[in-house]
Amino acid sequence: MQEIQFYLVDAFSDKNFGGNAAAVCPLSEWLADDVLLKMAQQHNQSETAFFVRTDEGYELRWFTTLAEINLCGHATLAAAHVIFEYLDHPSATILFSTRFVGELRVTRNGDWLTLDFPGVVDLPGAKPAGGSADRVGTRGRR
């Protein structure tokens, strides 16, 4: 059986069991999607971030216990924390390549990490269907 190191990171907190937890798994190469999903289920966190080193930075993917997801901010910051703290990243910036939202950049300044989060993400299936926008108050009053 292959051993894969993982980290449990509490994003948005400097206290154990605080913030928003995410599992982070550095990989040397991508494993099959069903294996990644089973690993996320085993970690049993809201999200598990998986990354693989590339020439330009890192490829990054996120899984819940049910499926791969398009984007996760706290798990991205958790992955960056692991890279900066445990994998000796040589610069103050990490470039993540993702399947669904393109490039994400995380910059370190002292103890702070800043994520250039996409301002508008047009994800398939992300828009409310059939006038539900009116019901949740996302349109102006008439």
Q: Which residues are catalytic?
A: 47
Cβ(89)–Cβ(83) under 8 Å? yes
Element (H, E) at 120: none
Element (H, E) at 19: none
Please tell me the distance from the alpha carbon of residue 78 to that of residue 95, in angstroms, as a whole number: 14
